[in-house]
A and B are shown apart, each in its own frame.
Chain A
Amino acid sequence: MSRFRRLRSVGAPTLAIAAVLALAACTPGASSSPASNKAPSGRVVTDAAKLGKVQLSVLDYFTGGTDATWMKDVVAAFHKKYPNITVNRTSMSWGDVMQALPLKLKSSNPPDIVPANNGWQSLGTLVQGHLVLNLDRYAKSYGWRSQVPTSIQREHEFSDDGKQMGTGSLFGMPVARSSMIEAYYNRALLHRIGATVPRTLGDFESDLAKAKAAGVTPISLGNLEQVGITGPLYSVMNALGQQDKISDLIYSQNGVKITDPATGFPAAVAAVKGWADKGYFTKQFSSVAGQDAAQDFVDGKALFRFDYSGSLPLKPGQSKGFGSFVLPNQHGGAPVATNSSATNFSVSEKSKHAAAAAAFLNFAASKQAAQMAVSTGTMPMLDPDVKAGNGDPLFSDDVSNAAEVSSKNASVPYLDWATPTLLTTMQTKMQDLLAGKTSTADVVKAAQADDATFQAKLAK
């Protein structure tokens, strides 16, 4: 026993040191990537039928439910249209995709199409590492720039050096499905408190007061896991701020700071705090699990709920009791929504079938794909003409919200795309604020500090 131990105590460190020395030759991340993200020039083949036999591999995070159904339908329809192209899907959970994506793209045989998440945590870093293809020449040939609303295009844009977001070339494409933060309401409860669907922000706040007075929980919120607060916070920010300032803030353009009142952020933090103090959120929301709060809303225990489209745990037939809207803007005009495509699809830099991949991206963003989204009961995007036909009132609301935001070009990106750490910073500080442990000014200051740190890092 003692003999073996002595052997080990010498052996393990020696081996570890040997391993480290063997590794010392290489700096992490220093692989042989192309030096530039500039788009190759020249026209491309846009008739996918002329591309010959192609096996296209696609990675996605549509592992189940309507997500998977839609993707399956789109793949089948694409193959039917272009029998020469076979699409091979691999589906992994969102978390797994995000963890594995850099390694997959660096491997010698990466998937042709990948779901890099917008923002700095994924797509921005991949652009900096030259791992995803500049899609500009395909955009030109297919006319994507005129087809996609500019506020959605910007979500997929980066400068060639990957140091700026929301400007420059397209490094990804949206699909014809929307992921949007909306306000949901309970029709029966709204009727009971004698209110109607709010047309102005003032209406909304008076509905909250009426509900409270009538003993109805005004807004369902469960913030135990820290994530619940983003829905209300972003919605109020969009209602109070100016759309272009919010976008510039998130894309770090034109020197807009999060402390700037025009972004709506400082006022939104204060408003959410005010609502919490007035008891407008679920009782003891800081200890309520997010799913429990969502279930309570579906069970008719709250008037409003801010949530991502398609996230309510509704059973078949339940949706007729509910409706949805985008929180009205205090400046009037079209309501602004935190909205992006249900996935961003990018093409691997190393893909040998970039033309076929672009043809698939084009198809996944088409009206036909939007129609398939509607028929599987998920929110469409890009095409305002697509209508819900199944007589489900909640889904009809969703589809018309999506159409309005799309046609009015009224999307802003998710605030947490601004820096990789902002989501954690905000969630933590908001919890502190709502528990009375810190001030509104401190939350804004922390967010600003987070942003400043990241800007300094980017500038290097």
Chain B
Amino acid sequence: MSSTTVSTSTAASGAAERDQISRPPPRRIKGAGNGSRPWLGLLYLLPALVVYVLVVIVPAGQGVWLSFFHWDGVTRATWAGFGNYTGFFSDPTLREAVTHTLYFILFFSVLPIALGLLSAALASRKNVRGAAVYRSVIFLPQMLTPAVTAVVWKRIYAPNGPINSVLRDIGLGGLARGWLGDYTWALPALGIAGTWAAFGLCMVLCISGMQAIPTELYDAARVDGAGAIREFFTVTLPGLRGTLSVVLTLTVLGAIRVFDIVWLTTRGGPGISTITPTIVLYQRAFANPDIGAAAAIGVVLAVVSLIVTLVIVRLSDSEAR
């Protein structure tokens, strides 16, 4: 991953480009500080470390501390112990929110990675004219602000929006509905919007990962008589392990944190059918205000995110060895 592989140009002939990229760039080996004076390195890190402690560690510590209190943000707080954390088991709204997170992991992570992998594999097999244009278009959602994305999808899913118009035009008017106001369909509808947004990033990262796979491996596979599918599973997929762990980490964390698109479209509705932990957090922190309960949700989300990241990194590391 350390090589400069995020090249999207296809003008050069594929073979030459792959050849060039497959050679690892020269790495500078540092001898100094290796063993003799380990604290010297820390000294260099100090300025960054101070900033990191001030803006990340201290507020995080405060958040953990706050989560043990009942506090309205103004008057004297009262000690709550783990009272704010038991909500994850006793509060039906929060429980519902957690199950929605699992749905969102499917739509924000699994689906976009599968699609990204597929399209990257297809794109890398043949030079398509104007491939860079397609890639930019598919990557575009990544560059839009969530507010714009929300407005666009609100339009698309509206009772008189394009999806329903098409359904009616092709004689499937019976299927037309207000997608975001429907208890069954609102969650998948928002999920698809998330898939759309994450797909481009997954594809671009997969393509760059594939370009880093040495062509010799493909040649060897072909000599052994592997077809396209076999080639994908024996060469491409193992070669993408590092890339996939990055993509998986990014998208799963995105799914756990999803807030804007839900808040700007359904606010967790209809009823609580699209509510997410972050929506509950926002409501408790700023509307209710019950800052301890909000902090507890934040802490749990942070811990879960950390565990998920560690597991993904550990898995990809151990397999690589």
Contacts and interface: CB of A to CB of B under 8 A. Distances in A.
A126 B74 CA distance: 7
Interface string B39-83: 000000000000001000110111011100101111111010000
Given A224-B154, A289-B158, A121 B287 contact: yes
Given A12-B57, A30-B76, A284 B271 contact: no
A99 B287 CA distance: 9
Interface string B150-194: 000010011100000000000000000111111100000000000
Contact of A424 (B72, B283, B289, B291): B283
B288 interface: yes
A20 B179 CA distance: 46
B257 interface: no
Contacts of A203: none
Contacts of A288: 158-159, 178, 181
A15 B56 CA distance: 11
Among B65, B159, B179, B270, max chain A CB count under 10 A is at: B270
A424 B177 CA distance: 25
Contacts of A126: 74
Nearest to A431: B270
B266 interface: yes
Contact of A287 (B53, B74, B177, B283): B177
A427 interface: yes
B142 interface: no
A129 B287 CA distance: 17
B286 interface: yes
Interface in B237-271: 265-271
Contacts of A421: 287-288
B272 interface: yes
A20 B53 CA distance: 12
A172 to B, nearest CB: 15
A292 B158 contact: yes
Contacts of A420: 287-290
Contacts of A285: 181
B270 A286 contact: yes
Interface residues of B, number: 44
Interface string A253-288: 000000000000000000000000000000111111
B178 A287 contact: yes
Given A16-B57, A420-B288, A129 B267 contact: no
Contact of B74 (A29, A432, A437): A29
A421 B290 CA distance: 10
B53 A15 contact: yes
Interface string A273-311: 000000000011111110010000000000000000000
Nearest to A421: B288
A423 to B, nearest CB: 7
Contact of A131 (B53, B64, B74): B74
A444 to B, nearest CB: 17
Among A30, A126, A284, A427, max chain B CB count under 10 A is at: A284
B277 to A, nearest CB: 15
Interface string A424-442: 1001110110010100000
Contacts of A125: 72-75, 289
A10 interface: no
A23 B62 contact: yes
B272 A428 contact: yes
17 contacts: A15-B53, A19-B57, A20-B65, A22-B61, A24-B65, A224-B154, A227-B267, A284-B178, A287-B157, A287-B177, A288-B158, A420-B288, A420-B289, A421-B288, A424-B287, A427-B267, A428-B271
Which 9 pairs between the two chains have the least Cβ-Cβ distance?
Answer: A287-B178, A287-B181, A19-B61, A129-B74, A286-B181, A28-B77, A284-B159, A284-B178, A432-B271
Interface of A: 12, 15-16, 19-20, 22-24, 27-30, 95, 98-99, 102, 121, 125-126, 128-129, 131, 223-227, 283-289, 292, 420-421, 423-424, 427-429, 431-432, 435, 437
Interface of B: 53, 57-58, 60-62, 64-66, 69, 71-77, 79, 154, 157-159, 177-183, 265-272, 283, 286-291
